[in-house]
Structure formats: structure tokens, C-alpha cells
Amino acid sequence: MVRNSAVKGGFSKYQEGIGKRGEEIQHINPRRSTNQDLTNQEVNKIIQLKPNSFPVGIDVENPFMYPISEAQLPTAECPTGTIPILCNNRQENISTKNTDAIVTSQQQEVAGIKYFDDIYGTQATINIYEPMVKHHWDLSGSWIQIENGPDVIGAGSWVSPSFSGDSFARFHISWRDEVQNKSCNNHKCPGFVQVSSSVVLGGRIQPVSVYNGPQYAIKFLIFKDPKTENWWLVYGEEKTAIGYWPSSQFSYMKEMASKALWGGYVQGPTASEDSPQMGSGHFASEGYGKAAFVRDIQVVNDDNMRVIPNPVKADPGSTNRRKYTYEYYGHNPNGMHVYYGGPGSYS
């Protein structure tokens, strides 16, 4: 999660297994409660299984002429009525207190586009790389995020050895709400209601992009269900639902978000001084195939329509242009686009 400038419920283990990428998975039934698994969450007795409607927009034939393939979110085959919980990396051993500290109390640099408006959701396609990180506590993310005051919702890819136990690009979600009053990730604390029986939060994303080689990306959509007011996360061209954040846990973002961010960020105890790579590890000016991008950026308005962001309200930039740059390359009928990233302190 960029600093502001789960099934919700007690779970009982259903069974254990191995995910499609060899990672150890627990299959959890969100409707059963032992108050022993995960974070002793209370059962969310009424689960919304799918959005009542999706934001409407015009998707034209993509004028982005460069070849891009879809990266695959991590999945596991779970029995009906259960969800996959990753349990074979450091995520299960890191407390929510420490996770919160990673987000809120360490050095951070950001490059991409900030956007200010009344926002009811956002859709964007994120280029997936595995940037190099210098230190154990470093994190480098490719990210989309919406927020209002202290309330924040975000999703994307992280490389974070301290959180994941390795240096792979992994799929993560993160949020901050009035109920928890701290930053939360994946299933480490209550707040996210997962409805997908296959997507593994914290699992490895594959394939990843190669500098001057094949490029892979994932489309994410975060939006507010007009009927329930829950904030949904879906992905891919088919808009597959992963889950939602109940609106009841937000105060400032109960109605709408006021800010969005698309791009990359790094953080860690020395992230501003001895910095990890961001994006592809190369500057934005190198362009397609060499610099990371976020493309087809859209926002959802109060009519539940996906629209192109107003360029006047967009603020592309970088907090440290010596180490990370951005190239805002405008928009087309599918939305805004931006290149971002850099080598950090790597030569």
C-alpha cells in the first residue's frame, strides 16, 4: 500500500493440498468458525457471492500495438465452498502489527500518476516484472490504489522478501479502514471477503515480463457495488470476481474515494537511500519492452460508468527523479497510460 500524502469470519480448515505452482495451500470454509484459524475473525454470516452489476464502459479494439500477454494470477483447485489460503511462506508468520509497520513507518518512493476526483472505482492493466530488491525488508510494488482520508484499498504485485520469504512477484491486496485502524494485507486480518475458490492471495504471479523480451500484464478493476456499496476486486478480461471489502468498515470511503494512484512504489528502512529497483529496473524513457507500464487506466463515475480520467485532474510524477522516472504518454479511447520505474541504487 502506498502511504497516504479475507474472508471476513472465523475459519475452519477444510483440508490441505498443493497449489498449481507447488505451494502449500489450506482450503478454508468461510462459513464455519472455530476462531482458531488465521486471525480469529468473526464470521461474516451473509456473503455477497458476486457483484450486483459491473461498471459499464466502452472497450474498443486496443490501439496499444505492442504484443502483450496476460500474466496469470496464482490459483489452486479448492473444494466447493472453500477458498485457498497460502501457508508455506513467511506470510503466516508475520503479525499484522509488523505488516502495518512495513507500510506506515518506513521510507517510501513513488512514481506514476496520482488522480484527484470523486472516484467510485478504477480499472487498469499492470505490467508485471520482478524488480531486484537490495535488502531483506525492501518492498517493490506495481500497484493500483484508491483512497479517501485514512481509508485505502489497493491491489497488484509485490516483491518483498520479508513478507513472502522470496524475491518472486506475488499477488497482494492491501487496505486500511476505520475498524482496524491499521494497514492489512491479504488474509492477515479481517476485512476482505474472498469469494473466489481458486485465486491465492500472496501466491506467485507467472509468467513475468522480461527486459527487451516478452511482456505480461494483468487487468484489475476495483469498484463500488451501487446496491450494496461494497468495494469489489475483479481481474482479467472476463472480470472474474476475487472478493470484496464490506462498506461498513469504511467511514471516509463509505460513499466514494477522492484519490487514485497508478504506478510503482518502493519502501523499506533505507528505501530512499539504498534503494531497490522499481518496475523493470529501468527508467521510463526507455519505453515499451524495457520500462514498466500501467495502461488502459479508467475511473468509475457516480453513474457506474467507466470513463477516461480527466487529464486536468491527473498529477503524474516521481518522488525521486534521480532514481525513478515517469513518462506520461497520454490517453486513447481505452484510457490513460504511463511508463514508470528505475534502477534505484543499482548501477
pLDDT at residue 25 in the model: 61
Does residue 207 have a cis peptide bond before it, meaning omega lies within 30 degrees of 0?
yes
pLDDT classification of 41: cutoffs 50, 70, 90: very low
- Residue 318 pairs with which residues in a beta bridge? 111
Domains of the chain, by residue range, sit at 12-49+68-341
CA distances from 326 to 20, 88, 282, 345 (A): 36, 36, 11, 17
Nearest partner of 246 among 153, 150, 117, judged by Cα = 153
What is the distance between the alpha carbons of residues 339 and 317, in angstroms, rounded to a whole number?
11
Q: What pLDDT, in 10s, does the model give residues 205-227?
A: 999 999 999 999 999 999 999 99
pLDDT at residue 29 in the model: 66
Residue 86 has pLDDT above 90, yes or no: no
Nearest partner of 292 among 329, 340, 324, 249, judged by Cα = 340
What is the distance between the alpha carbons of residues 54 and 232, in angstroms, rounded to a whole number?
10
Instruction: Return the H-helix or E-strand segment holding 102.
Output: helix 96-104
pLDDT at residue 19 in the model: 46
- Residue 332 pairs with which residues in a beta bridge? 335
pLDDT at residue 43 in the model: 40
Q: What pLDDT, in 10s, does the model give residues 157-167?
A: 999 999 999 99
What percent of the chain stands above pLDDT 90? 66
Torsion of CA 157, 140, 110, 232, to 10 degrees: 20
Phi then psi dihedrals of residue 204, to 5 deg: -75, 135
Nearest partner of 244 among 27, 15, 50, 20, judged by Cα = 50
pLDDT classification of 80: cutoffs 50, 70, 90: confident
pLDDT at residue 113 in the model: 97
Q: Which of 21-25, 257-261, 336-340 has the lowest mean pLDDT?
A: 21-25
pLDDT classification of 97: cutoffs 50, 70, 90: very low
pLDDT at residue 3 in the model: 65
CA distances from 340 to 86, 110, 323, 335 (A): 30, 9, 11, 17
pLDDT at residue 4 in the model: 53
Burial 204-228 (b: 16+ CB within 10 A, else e): bbbebbeeeeebbbbbbbbbbbeee
Phi then psi dihedrals of residue 286, to 5 deg: -75, -20
- Pull the grid cell for residue 91: 506470510
Average pLDDT, rounded, for the chain:
85
